[in-house]
Amino acid sequence: MKKVIFIDCGDTLVDEATQVFDKNENVTDVKFYENSDKVLFKLKELGYIIILVADGKDESFRNIFKKINFLDKFDGFVVSENVGELKPHPAMFETAYNLIPDKYRNKDNIIMVGNNLRRDIKGANNFGITSVWMNWSPRYFHEFEEPDWKPDYEIKSPAELLELLKKL
Ligand SMILES: [Mg+2]
């Protein structure tokens, strides 16, 4: 049974088309897609370990998750600005992996959920964890251009993640 969720933010939980930026190019506001905020809280309630694995600026993600009072609910907060690499670089996944409590730190326990085949799915596949493609956004890639871009699972909405997890 999967216990650990690595999750992307842009076009996975929030709609990038609705981002509002300040003069320093930090995101100050954005809309959560469908009921993705409720899904996050539900996953927490169900006991999943949830680690953000996202490319962008630390302050942007703090603003985004503060907005829904989820910032202190994450078990880990892995942001490319702090790591110094972007997904699919293994440093992003390795950093998240090291934040998992000892008891659950096993690649068989982990799924990565993200919208971007070239970053999220490729990175997860090469790191040896289960990849879940959140495919609702029209942005970025929709063809499996390389063999390692092919996700283990595909979902079309945040709510579908809850259903999928019951089967994993
Ligand atoms: Mg994304």
Nearest Cα residue to 6 out of 81, 107, 85, 83: 107
Distance CA 24, CA 4 (A): 33
Cβ proximity of 53 and 78 under 8 Å? yes
pLDDT of amino acid 83: 98
Confidence of residue 141 (pLDDT cuts 50, 70, 90): confident
Distance CA 101, CA 69 (A): 23
Q: How far is the CA of 90 from the centre of ligand 1 (A)?
A: 17
Q: How far is the CA of 7 from the centre of ligand 1 (A)?
A: 9
- Above pLDDT 70, what percent of the chain? 100
Q: How far is the CA of 27 from the centre of ligand 1 (A)?
A: 14
Residues 60-103: tens digit of each pLDDT: 999 999 999 999 999 999 999 999 999 999 999 999 999 999 99
E-state strands within the chain: 4-7, 14-21, 27-32, 49-54, 76-79, 110-114, 130-134, 153-155
Q: Is residue 131 pLDDT above 90, yes or no? A: yes
Q: How far is the CA of 12 from the centre of ligand 1 (A)?
A: 5
Q: Where are the domains of the chain?
A: 4-167
Which one of 3.40.50.300, 3.40.50.1000, 3.40.640.10, 1.10.10.10 gives the CATH number of domain 4-167?
3.40.50.1000
Residues 14-38: tens digit of each pLDDT: 999 999 999 999 999 999 999 999 9
Q: How far is the CA of 123 from the centre of ligand 1 (A)?
A: 13
Residues 43-70: tens digit of each pLDDT: 999 999 999 999 999 999 999 999 999 9
Cβ proximity of 135 and 142 under 8 Å? yes
Q: How far is the CA of 30 from the centre of ligand 1 (A)?
A: 13
Q: How far is the CA of 145 from the centre of ligand 1 (A)?
A: 18
Confidence of residue 2 (pLDDT cuts 50, 70, 90): confident
Give the CA angle between residues 111, 41, 137 to the nearest 5°: 60
Mean pLDDT rounded to a whole number for the chain: 96
Cβ proximity of 132 and 155 under 8 Å? yes
